């Protein structure tokens, strides 16, 4: 999926939200926006949106002097999600269809996006979980592939969401690989975040080679590409991974369409939740 000119306001939003959260003064944030305005001339619009996001990260890193500006946010997100872990397990245990429930839980993990600075009531979200509607839900195909699968690969997304993915992997009950980014990219999970979520108890954690909030095959390690090739069931979480992998087949994309461009690519509407096999 290529970068659209309509993605530009989102880059500014990302920059402003992150810089403000890092406590930079408004005058400096404005200056950072000016710098991003200059950088736009260097953007490659034939590439995916995430591939242009390093222009944003570079400006933030330069102004904060930090390599990973999301360390504390990621830790808080994981801690919060771990508090919900017993409830999540209970939801699966009591469900008449534990696999479908675990998929819903993994979807809620993506909906929440712990990196976005707003208050949300996780308990309330979970109480509504039975009425969570998927606009696309390729569940028959999912069950079919799962039935024959000897192993599973999840391509992870945000920290915090990792705990919800752990619940999914525990419900699937297959040997699993969980892929994370190789360098800080917004609030996306790194290996340490995955370990904190307890994913090492249920999967082999690998770094994909990606250093952006997405997974672009050309940037991945041989280890990741091998895992992708040998996995019988592949689940890609979130919009960022979809942007990079939308041309790849035999993947179940589990995500909430958070913007017009991705929604159009998927043939759904903004806000729609999907489990879609490509």
Contact characters 39-58, its own copies, x per CB under 8 A: -xx-x-x-------------
- Is residue 195 a contact residue for its own copies (CB under 8 A)? no
- Is residue 259 a contact residue for its own copies (CB under 8 A)? no
CB of 17 to its own copies, least distance (A): 8
- Is residue 117 a contact residue for its own copies (CB under 8 A)? no
CB of 51 to its own copies, least distance (A): 16
- Is residue 217 a contact residue for its own copies (CB under 8 A)? no
Binding piece for its own copies, criterion CB under 8 A, among 13-21, 119-127, 207-215, 232-240: 13-21
CB of 64 to its own copies, least distance (A): 16
CB of 113 to its own copies, least distance (A): 16
d(CA 86, CA 173): 18
**C-alpha 94, offset from chain centre:** 27
Per CB under 8 A, residues contacting its own copies are 5-6, 8-10, 12-13, 16, 20, 26, 29-31, 33-34, 36-38, 40-41, 43, 45
């Amino acid at each position: 999926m290529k970068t659209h000119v309509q993605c530009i306001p989102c880059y500014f939003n990302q920059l402003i939200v992150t810089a403000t959260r890092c406590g930079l003064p408004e005058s400096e944030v404005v200056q950072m926006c000016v710098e991003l305005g200059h950088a736009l001339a260097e953007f490659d619009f034939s590439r995916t949106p995430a591939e242009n996001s390093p222009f944003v990260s570079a400006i933030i890193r330069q102004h904060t002097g930090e390599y990973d500006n999301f360390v504390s946010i990621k830790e808080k997100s994981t801690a919060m999600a771990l508090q919900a872990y017993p409830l999540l397990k209970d939801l699966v245990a009591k469900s008449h269809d534990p696999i479908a429930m675990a998929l819903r839980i993994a979807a809620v993990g993506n909906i929440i996006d712990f990196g976005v600075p707003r208050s949300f009531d996780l308990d309330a979200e979970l109480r509504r979980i039975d009425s969570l509607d998927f606009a696309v839900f390729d569940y028959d195909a999912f069950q079919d592939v799962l039935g024959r699968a000897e192993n599973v690969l999840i391509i992870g997304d945000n920290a915090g969401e990792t705990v919800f993915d752990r619940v999914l992997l525990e419900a699937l009950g297959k040997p699993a690989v969980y892929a994370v980014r190789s360098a800080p990219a917004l609030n996306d999970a790194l290996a340490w975040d995955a370990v904190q979520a307890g994913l090492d108890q249920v999967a082999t954690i690998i770094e994909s080679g990606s250093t952006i909030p997405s997974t672009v095959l050309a940037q991945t390690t041989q280890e990741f590409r091998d895992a992708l090739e040998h996995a019988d069931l592949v689940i890609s979480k979130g919009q960022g991974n979809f942007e990079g992998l939308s041309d790849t087949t035999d993947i179940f994309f589990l995500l909430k369409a958070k913007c017009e461009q991705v929604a159009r690519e998927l043939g759904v509407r903004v806000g729609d939740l999907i489990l879609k096999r490509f």
